């Protein structure tokens, strides 16, 4: 179907401006001009409605408590992309990677961009080549009558997945349920320092007949606004930790946990559930008391991960 700005009721954002500086967020920020829509977003995703002081032209914003939202995407036409290079407020280059899209006198002519994505990234980093501009139009699966929302991203990681996403949406052959997430990426530099950031990820799940519309609850789903962090990658201080006695997961949650662990392992470059969980916690737990507390926490995590791994293999789990 044709996507129209007239039918869009709001936008999803991975960050916001604060004191003149861009800041990335741990959970989705939603902006809209409609107060009723903003209130409904807060009901669905947590957070509170507040005036949009970060600019962008829309009156209200909600800093939600969800880093993943289940959305309804109406086929491949809802996902579009182009490459653009700005010089100040003027567009210096606008193409689809093969031909110019503007200005009118150049439209349809070869743009001269490199064929390989890595070469395009290198040119963009030097300031001599365009960067991706990706648009996704969707509805919130749990409340489709709210209307359409837009998410715009310049992520090269998302750009790399466009061909696969297009193929997956075509296979559904109709409206597709997807998860739109801000996925945590944690890595260690050669100097041994741990850093983290979040990247937008769209996962095509299937048709509405085979996938539930509600977003599975996560640790972020408490009704509190998501904290913002500077876009420059920094370490985070831990919050208080409460020991939790694990229970054997149900079949549905086992499938979800298995998929989440696989995605985390790919991002962290780890193998095995214990190593993945421990690596993620090692990056998050950073404080002056890190040494003793983290050693104790790792022992607990190893035990929990061992139980989870047995459950995922279908083995019996001894109670402790």
| Residue 8 DSSP SS3 | strand
Burial of 110 (0-12, 13-18, 19+ CB in 10 A): exposed
Q: In this predicted structure, what is the pLDDT of residue 287? A: 39
Q: What is the pLDDT along the chain (320 residues), one digit of tens a residue?
A: 444 555 789 999 999 888 878 888 999 999 999 999 999 999 999 999 999 976 667 899 999 999 999 999 999 999 999 999 998 889 999 999 999 999 999 999 999 999 999 999 999 999 999 999 999 999 999 999 999 999 999 999 999 999 999 999 999 999 999 999 999 988 888 888 888 889 999 999 999 988 877 765 544 444 444 444 444 433 434 444 334 433 433 333 333 344 555 555 555 455 455 455 555 544 443 433 444 555 555 566 566 666 666 655 555 444 44
Describe the chain by its helix, strand, coil percentages, rounded to 5. 30, 30, 35
Residue 276, φ and ψ in degrees, nearest 5: -65, -50
CB 231 within 8 A of CB 15: yes
CB 180 within 8 A of CB 151: yes
How confident is the model over 287-311, as pLDDT tens digits?
334 445 555 555 665 666 666 666 5
Q: Is 272 left (phi over 0), alpha (psi -120 to 50) or beta?
A: left
Quickly count: other Cβ atoms within 10 Å of residue 229's Cβ.
18
Angle between helices 251-268 and 290-312 (to 10 degrees): 130
The pTM of the full predicted model, rounded to 2 decimals, is: 0.65
CB 297 within 8 A of CB 280: no
Q: In this predicted structure, what is the pLDDT of residue 246? A: 39
């Amino acid at each position: 179907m044709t996507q129209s700005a007239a039918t869009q009721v709001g936008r999803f954002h991975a960050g916001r401006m604060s004191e003149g500086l861009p800041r990335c967020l741990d959970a989705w920020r939603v902006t809209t001009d409609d107060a009723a829509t903003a209130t409904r977003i807060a009901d669905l995703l947590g957070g509170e409605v507040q005036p949009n002081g970060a600019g962008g032209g829309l009156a209200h914003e909600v800093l939600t408590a969800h880093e993943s939202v289940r959305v309804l995407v109406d086929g491949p036409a809802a996902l579009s992309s182009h490459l653009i290079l700005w010089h100040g407020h003027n567009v210096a280059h606008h193409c689809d990677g093969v031909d110019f899209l503007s200005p009118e006198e150049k439209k349809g002519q070869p743009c001269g961009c490199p064929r390989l994505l890595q070469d395009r990234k290198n040119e963009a980093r030097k300031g001599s080549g365009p960067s991706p501009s990706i648009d996704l139009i969707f509805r919130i699966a749990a409340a489709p009558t709210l209307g359409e929302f837009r998410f715009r991203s310049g992520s090269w990681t998302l750009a790399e997945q466009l061909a696969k996403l297009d193929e997956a949406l075509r296979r559904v052959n109709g409206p597709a349920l997807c998860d739109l997430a801000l996925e945590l990426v944690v890595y260690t530099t050669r100097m041994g320092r741990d850093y983290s950031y979040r990247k937008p990820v769209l996962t095509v799940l299937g048709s509405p007949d085979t996938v539930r519309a509600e977003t599975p609850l996560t640790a972020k789903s408490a009704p509190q606004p998501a904290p913002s962090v500077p876009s420059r990658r920094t370490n985070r201080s831990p919050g208080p930790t409460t020991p939790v006695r694990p229970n054997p997961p149900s079949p549905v949650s086992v499938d979800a946990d298995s998929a989440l662990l696989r995605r985390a392992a790919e991002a962290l470059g780890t193998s095995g559930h214990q190593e993945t969980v421990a690596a993620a916690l090692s990056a998050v737990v950073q404080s002056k008391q890190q040494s003793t507390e983290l050693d104790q926490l790792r022992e607990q995590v190893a035990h929990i991960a061992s139980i989870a791994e047995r459950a995922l293999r279908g083995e019996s789990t001894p109670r402790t």
